[in-house]
Each structure stands twice: as structure tokens, then as C-alpha cells.
């Protein structure tokens, strides 16, 4: 059984996933499996994974579903069901990983806590270079600065830092981890959210808090780099309204989830 299951939420961007796989191949911590949670059922994605799965040392599982609207949470729940590890790390399919990323999540895991990090926002110029060259060495502090990337402060790896308990909103769905049992206790992701934003992080967070789970921040330890793309949603208002109503009801164990 692997020590970690890495769950990658993807939607059609094969070139980005190829870079994510390459960053996973460079991890200092290597006892993990990869689960591609595709909110689509594309032949191109299936063929890509079949073609590359023997090129890497890690096992790749692939789950998919018909593309009938935004159903990221459903895909994530499917990935949780097939995960073999007791500890889960969640990333997005357009976020590349620092070589110490998984080591940080594994080293600092502790029962009763979730971990979360932040991401550097790569510029369009540097993102295009990565797509063209597939050279992860292009990601350096120097290149981040000269290519006008954002949130560069998140790029500094400081290994001697200790995670701190964070009492406010913290989870971003692209960089966080938790014991599988904690997600099972709240029935996983709530599949009632069918638009991007809030549903896969903020909703999950309040339900975890309600069961006594706390969060630790591992910024500067679990570093990732977000490939540039145009924002694909304009408003989270509908999700915010759903979230308000669900919090009023106080149902920590969501009805439309893992079970």
C-alpha cells in the first residue's frame, strides 16, 4: 500500500498534466500513487495516460465521467473511493510541484489536522516556455522575477519552518492534504456544487472544522506553481448562496457525497 495517494483534478488540459507528471517524477518522496480525477471522458486523455504510464515509477489510476457540466466534486469523490493510501494529497492538473512538495505533506501529516499550502502564479510568458520546452529547470526565482510572475513570496522553500495552526479559512483545493478517514466522516465532497469555486474547498473546510479537524499551514514547505490560463468562471455567487443555506442547516455529513 502506498503511503500517499495523489489526487489530480483535471479537465482536458493534457499538456499541463504531462508537466505535472514530470514534476511528480522529480519528487524526493516517492512512495505514492497517482489518481487522475477527470471531469470528462475524453479519448485523448485516456490515450495519453495509457501511453505514458510505463514511463514513470509511480502507478497511475484514471477515473473519468461524462462531460455534462461542472462536476469536479463527483470526480474527486470517485478518486477517493479508489485510493489505496490512508493519506490523501489534492492538487489541480495545472499546478507543478516543487521537488520537496510531497515530502512536506507526508512529513507534517498528523491525525486531527489537514495541511494546506499556497501556489506561485506563473506568467503567460513563462507558462508558454514550459509548454514549449517541458524543461522544469525554467522554474527558478530569477525566471519568476524577470517573467513577472505573481505571488513570488510563495516560491521560497524554507525547510526549517514549522507548520502553524491556522484558525481562519485556509484550504485551496489545489494544494492540501488530509487523512482519508476525516473525509469519510463528513461523506467527502458535496456534489450539490455544480459550478466552479467554493464547493471543493470552502464548503469542505467548514464541515471539517465542525468535526474538530484543524488546519496547519505549510507555506514555504509545500510549494507549487500554477500554469497561467484565463479564468474560466466569472462569479461564485450561486455557490456562495448554496454554502450559506447549507451552513444554516448545519449538516456536516453531506447527503450527496461519497456514499
Domain ranges of the chain: 4-249
| Total residue count of the chain as it appears in this document | 259
Place of cell 512512495: 31
Q: How far is CA 220 from CA 158, 165, 170, in A?
A: 5, 15, 15
Residue 122 cell numbers, joined: 506563473
Question: Tens digit of pLDDT per residue, the chain (259 long)?
Answer: 999 999 999 999 999 999 999 999 999 999 999 999 999 999 999 999 999 999 999 999 999 999 999 999 999 999 999 999 999 999 999 999 999 999 999 999 999 999 999 999 999 999 999 999 999 999 999 999 999 999 999 999 999 999 988 766 678 789 999 999 999 999 999 999 988 878 888 899 999 999 999 999 999 999 999 999 887 666 688 888 999 999 999 999 999 999 9
- Cα 97 from Cα 99, distance rounded (Å): 6
* Residue 143: alpha-carbon gap to chain centroid: 24
* DSSP for residue 227: P
CATH architecture type of domain 4-249? Alpha-Beta Complex (3.90)
Return the H-helix or E-strand segment holding 18.
Answer: helix 14-25
pTM of the model: 0.96
Amino acid at each position: 500500500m502506498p503511503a500517499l495517494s495523489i489526487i489530480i483534478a483535471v479537465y482536458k488540459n493534457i499538456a499541463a498534466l504531462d508537466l505535472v507528471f514530470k514534476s511528480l517524477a522529480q519528487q524526493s518522496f516517492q512512495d505514492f500513487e497517482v489518481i487522475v480525477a477527470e471531469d470528462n471522458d475524453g479519448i485523448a486523455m485516456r490515450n495519453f495516460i495509457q501511453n505514458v504510464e510505463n514511463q514513470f515509477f509511480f502507478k497511475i489510476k484514471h477515473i473519468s465521467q461524462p462531460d455534462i457540466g461542472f462536476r469536479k466534486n463527483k470526480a474527486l469523490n470517485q478518486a477517493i473511493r479508489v485510493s489505496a493510501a490512508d493519506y490523501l494529497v489534492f492538487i489541480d492538473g495545472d499546478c507543478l510541484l516543487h521537488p520537496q512538495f510531497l515530502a512536506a505533506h507526508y512529513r507534517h501529516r498528523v491525525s486531527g489536522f489537514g495541511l494546506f499550502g499556497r501556489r506561485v502564479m506563473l506568467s503567460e510568458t513563462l507558462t508558454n516556455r514550459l509548454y514549449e520546452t517541458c524543461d522544469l529547470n525554467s522554474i527558478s526565482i530569477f525566471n519568476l522575477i524577470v517573467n513577472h510572475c505573481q505571488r513570488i513570496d510563495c516560491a521560497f522553500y524554507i525547510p526549517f519552518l514549522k507548520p502553524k495552526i491556522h484558525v481562519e479559512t485556509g484550504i485551496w483545493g489545489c494544494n492540501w492534504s488530509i487523512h482519508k478517514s476525516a473525509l469519510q466522516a463528513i461523506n467527502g465532497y458535496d456534489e450539490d456544487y455544480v459550478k466552479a469555486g467554493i464547493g471543493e474547498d470552502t464548503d469542505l473546510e467548514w464541515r471539517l472544522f465542525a468535526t474538530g479537524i484543524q488546519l496547519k499551514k505549510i507555506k514555504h514547505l509545500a510549494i507549487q506553481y500554477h500554469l497561467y490560463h484565463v479564468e474560466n468562471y466569472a462569479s461564485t455567487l450561486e455557490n456562495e448562496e448554496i454554502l450559506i443555506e447549507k451552513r444554516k442547516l448545519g449538516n456536516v455529513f453531506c447527503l450527496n457525497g461519497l456514499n
